[in-house]
Amino acid sequence: MAFSATVHFPQRQKGLLIPTGLFINNRFVASSDGSTIKAINPATEEVICEVQSASAKDIDLAVDAARKAFTTTWGKHVTPTERARLMFKLADLMQRDQQQLADLESLNNGKPNRFARDADIGDSIACLRYYAGWADKNYGQYIELDEQQKFAFTKHEPIGVCGQIIPWNYPIQMWAWKVGPALATGCTIVMKPSELTPLTALKLCELVIEAGFPPGVINCVPSLGSVGGAALSAHPGVDKVAFTGSTITGRKIMEAAAKSNLKKVSLELGGKSPSIIFNSVDLDQAATWTAFGILWNSGQDCTAGSRLYVQEGIYDKFIKILVEKASQFKIASAWEDDVAGGPLISKAQFDKVWNYIEEGKREGAKCVLGGQKLAGKGYFVPPTIFVDVKPNMKIVKEEARACRIFGPVLSVAKFSTEEEGIALANDTTYGLAAAVHSNDQAQCNRVANALQAGTVWINAYCLLYNNVPFGGFKQSGIGRELGSYALHEYTSVKAVHWNFGEKLDWPL
């Protein structure tokens, strides 16, 4: 392979040959200006390999390839049954190579290998199969009209070429969330993976070829966000942009889309997601879900429950149990036994999280767990809990570039009444997710209705399913991922009026 590298994994005897070129028109090619990106192992801080980095000219080539495929070999030119067949084939190939993909994901992202394999990649395979099942079910409507010799119907047509910009915290899963509905509806794709985690997206392109997708249907252009992401957002040949990432970048994408061709935009942005713990809860279970909600993926999750509000009647007991649960969460290299969380993604992210931890201490928040740097290499941050926080502390209010601390850091405060708990939870410009923990069913219903969030968990946290829509309120996003709702983001509705008999008299 012209553009490739062999990477090696801990506890694996054989290396893995991976592509490192841009993927355009079913070929791995060089960047037009020779730029490259270094892929880093966040557990060791070592360079894994270098991949080609797309320029604006390369984005033009990828968009042209996607446009040609849309107008000649994909879009309306392939039956829904054929689209489904190719998607099922791709999912089967991912399942065949599930361990290889998990190894690569762990190496480049740092997450525990077993979670990468069983959760992220397992769910991504299921996501493709879910949307393959939708390929022939994207129905319009038959509409009866008042006139007897006329009727109307609607068609849901593929929107066209889609620029898809995905983040580094769930590289394969975010790939599947966006590729699935786009392919099922007949769109073509120019995918820009995060410059921090390009390796699995490129490896998947090999499977795209093996599955038999026509050239240009899926293209992959690793690049800096300021280059590739900006070019896709402003490109007149792109019909829709789907983005997952920070609210600040989301605003830039909307602006570029408006100034270019008013392309359709869907945004899944960040949040400062709250959890409310009421007096009636099962303390052990509520503490378990709360720890899971902030520590899963080492806190690098857009929905991570970073703000916790505990009713005063159980506050002290709950904090004690929560600290005990969180202290059992093992942060280590992806291949160590019983590891529950890995390193943060980069030096920049590591430094940002530690700056917030130090700021929390300076502002007087009480740190009851963690808060001290670990020895050795790697961007590891231990579970950290601040209690008795005040509403205006930076660790509670300031969203920063990634919309929150984006690490395993939890801020805890006390409240007295249900109304106060709801007000504290909603006191944010974001609204991606929230949780309520209570054994009072009527209270659960009241609070869930009052919370301003796109996802509300009741006596649970962080559980997402491919058939349930996901997205944000307020500044946490526009549009929805997953479920049948995601299909709407990749289609345009055409209304067809049919006159099959009525004559028009002329002149009027």
Encode pLDDT of 230-253 as tens digits: 999 999 999 999 999 999 999 999
Output b/e per residue, 301-310; b: 16+ Cβ within 10 A: bbbbbbbbbb
Catalytic pick among 268, 399, 418, 489: 268
The backbone torsions φ and ψ at residue 89, rounded to the nearest 5 degrees and listed phi first, read -65, -45
The percentage of the chain sitting over the pLDDT mark of 90, rounded to a whole number, equals: 93
Q: What is the mean pLDDT of residues 80-84?
A: 98
Question: Is a pLDDT exceeding 90 seen at residue 183?
Answer: yes
Read off the pTM: 0.95
3-class secondary-structure state, position 48: strand
Q: Residue 434's beta-bridge partner residues?
A: 456
pLDDT of residue 243: 98
3-class secondary-structure state, position 177: helix
**3-class SS letters over 65-90:** HHHHHHHHCCHHHCCHHHHHHHHHHH
Question: Is a pLDDT exceeding 50 seen at residue 480?
Answer: yes
Per-residue pLDDT of 261-272, as tens digits, reads 999 999 999 889
Helices within 451-492 (DSSP H only): 485-488
Q: What's the Cα-to-Cα distance from 167 to each of 111, 206, 249, 333, 362, rounded to whole Å?
A: 14, 21, 12, 21, 31
Per-residue pLDDT of 191-225, as tens digits, reads 999 999 999 999 999 999 999 999 999 999 999 99
How far apart, in whole angstroms, are the C-alpha atoms of residue 190 and residue 161?
7
Q: What is the mean pLDDT of residues 185-189?
A: 98
Question: Is a pLDDT exceeding 90 seen at residue 403?
Answer: no
Per-residue pLDDT of 379-397, as tens digits, reads 999 999 999 998 888 888 7
How far apart, in whole angstroms, are the C-alpha atoms of residue 33 and residue 45?
27
Residues 6+ apart with CB under 8 A from 420: none
Confidence of residue 398 (pLDDT cuts 50, 70, 90): low
Q: How long a stretch of residues is the chain?
A: 508
Are 200 and 39 contacting, i.e. CB atoms less than 8 angstroms apart? no
Cis peptide before 198 (omega within 30 of 0): no
Contacts within 8 Å (CB) and 24+ apart, 150-154:
150/497, 150/498, 150/499, 150/500, 150/502, 151/498, 151/500, 152/495, 152/496, 152/497, 152/498, 153/495, 153/496, 153/498, 154/493, 154/494, 154/495, 154/496
Q: Residue 154's beta-bridge partner residues?
A: 495
Per-residue pLDDT of 484-505, as tens digits, reads 999 999 999 999 999 998 889 9
Q: Lowest-confidence range among 157-171, 285-299, 385-399, 412-426?
A: 385-399
pLDDT of residue 86: 98
Written as one letter, the residue type at 247 is T
Q: What is the mean pLDDT of residues 444-473?
A: 98
pLDDT of residue 400: 42
**Tokens matching residue 381:** 């941050």
Question: Is a pLDDT exceeding 70 seen at residue 1?
Answer: no
Q: What's the Cα-to-Cα distance from 467 to each of 127, 344, 485, rounded to whole Å?
A: 9, 29, 9
Are 485 and 469 contacting, i.e. CB atoms less than 8 angstroms apart? yes
Confidence of residue 402 (pLDDT cuts 50, 70, 90): very low
pLDDT of residue 404: 63
How far apart, in whole angstroms, are the C-alpha atoms of residue 193 and residue 352?
22
The span from the first CA to the last CA of the chain, in angstroms, equals 70
Q: Residue 7's beta-bridge partner residues?
A: 16
Question: Is a pLDDT exceeding 70 seen at residue 95?
Answer: yes
How far apart, in whole angstroms, are the C-alpha atoms of residue 486 and residue 470?
9
* Domains of the chain and any CATH numbers: 4-269+476-493 (3.40.605.10), 274-458 (3.40.309.10)
Q: Residue 265's beta-bridge partner residues?
A: 241
Q: What's the Cα-to-Cα distance from 504 to each of 34, 151, 153, rounded to whole Å?
A: 64, 16, 21
Written as one letter, the residue type at 339 is V
Q: What's the Cα-to-Cα distance from 278 to each of 282, 312, 315, 419, 450, rounded to whole Å?
A: 10, 9, 9, 12, 15
268 is catalytic: yes
Q: Residue 492's beta-bridge partner residues?
A: 157
Per-residue pLDDT of 368-382, as tens digits, reads 999 999 989 999 999
Q: What is the mean pLDDT of residues 37-44?
A: 97
Are 480 and 469 contacting, i.e. CB atoms less than 8 angstroms apart? yes
Q: Lowest-confidence range among 125-129, 255-259, 278-282, 336-340?
A: 336-340
**Range list of β-strands (E), 272-375:** 274-277, 307-311, 366-369
The percentage of the chain sitting over the pLDDT mark of 70, rounded to a whole number, equals: 98
